[in-house]
Amino acid sequence: MPPAVTPASPDDHAAACRLLAASRPALLRADTARRFLDLLTTGEFDPTGLFVARGAGGAVRGTVLAQVLPGALGLLFPPRVVPGREADTGPLLAAALDWLRGRGVKVCQSFAPGGDRSDEPALAAGGFRHVTAVVHLRRGLDPGPTAGPDGPLAFEPHGTDPPAFAAALLASHDGSLDCPELTGARAPVELLDGFRGPSPARPDWWVLARHAGEPVGVVMLDVGAEVGAVELNYLGLAPPARGRGWGQELLRFALRAAAADGAAALTLSVDARNAPARRLYDRHGFRETDRREVFLWRAPGQT
């Protein structure tokens, strides 16, 4: 008999969060469960994306959590069930994906620790496929103002010319090697919406790069997850500007801006397949700190 999969009630949240954390190392499970519960309680996570499967007597025997992100994107925390209820994963996943489709999500991602593809069979049954790993990099900084050589590019805050910034951001995705699967299913306005979250901590951390007055690329920085770090959220050049060494100029700008703000480190994430970007970051002293497997789902009708 198929399980009764329903939206979780507030009374289900604690049990569901314990299940979501069950795959974590034993020493981290309690803290991870509390973090999930805090995010749901404060509304930072939308609790309507939490579903549960019930066993006899209504006890929570399985759960899944889906979230909607800006830009027609979704995030999935894979189904987790108590031992012996593995058959519940399919209905749980179907409920989460139906919820995402109903909210306009076109592309959904699910992540796992580097090298861990144990969820792949269950995710594949729901239409996900493993596409790559995302590599997290870090470089320590000496805080304080740093002089940089005068390069060929001029930088200006994004608010100086928002239409030019948006156009350069879109152009930089053309032929990008950083998870190109994310962009193919979404309209330009949706791609831009993916960057229209909270404003950066400093207005001058989102910048437009120009060469001889023409927009050629963008740099986007924000406060990092690591205390005292700045995160390089995005760095990109339009296709005609590639192959000139200007990616190095963008990265040097990011390093100078982070150091000038007193940051102890600059962190970033990059697609493991993006060899040119990896070489650039390696040359500038970035070192791998973590990696995550990436599974991708496209809504029906998206190719």
- Phi and psi (nearest 5°) for 74? -130, 160
Structure tokens, 286: 């970035």
Mean pLDDT of 266-277: 96
Cβ proximity of 256 and 262 under 8 Å: no
HSE-up of 197 (CA within 13 Å, CB side)? 14
What pLDDT, in 10s, does the model give residues 68-92?
A: 999 999 999 999 999 999 999 999 9
Question: Residue 162's beta-bridge partner residues?
Answer: none
Let me know: does 83 contact 131? Beta carbons within 8 Å: no
> Which amino acid makes up residue 139?
R
The CATH class for the domain spanning 4-105 reads alpha beta
Evaluated on CA atoms 123, 127, 130, 133, the torsion sign reads negative
Residue 23: helix, strand or coil by DSSP?
coil
Q: Does domain 138-291 have CATH number 3.40.630.30?
A: yes
CA atoms within 13 A on the CB side of 46: 14
Of residues 88 and 57, which shows the higher confidence score?
88
Checking if the pLDDT of 16 tops 60, the result is yes
What are the domain boundaries of the chain? Answer: 4-105, 138-291
pLDDT tens string 119-146:
999 999 999 999 999 999 999 998 766 6
Distance CA 137, CA 288 (A): 4
- The confidence band for 301, taking pLDDT boundaries of 50, 70 and 90, is confident
**Mean pLDDT over all residues of the chain?**
93
Measure Cα distances from 172 to 242, 243, 250, 264 in Å.
Answer: 10, 13, 13, 28
Q: Are 67 and 75 in contact (CB under 8 A)?
A: yes
DSSP 8-state symbol, 297: E
At residue 303, the pLDDT reads 53
CA-to-CA dists, residue 87 to 62, 63, 183, angstroms: 10, 12, 33
At residue 202 the predicted structure's pLDDT band, cuts being 50, 70 and 90, is confident
How far from each other are the two terminal CA atoms of the chain, in whole angstroms?
Answer: 34
133 vs 269: CA distance, rounded Å: 10
Are 4-105 and 138-291 the same fold in CATH?
A: yes
Across 4-27, average pLDDT? 95
What is the model's pLDDT at position 181? Answer: 84
Burial class (CB in 10 A: 0-12, 13-18, 19+), 29: middle
Question: Regarding beta strands 107-113 and 265-271, do their DSSP bridges make them parallel or antiparallel, or are they unpaired?
Answer: unpaired
pLDDT score, position 148 = 62
The residue-averaged pLDDT of 223-227 equals 92
Which residues make Cβ contacts (< 8 Å) with residue 3, sequence separation at least 6?
53, 54, 55, 61, 62, 85, 87, 88, 91, 92
Query: Are residues 67 and 49 in contact, defined by beta-carbon separation less than 8 angstroms?
Result: yes
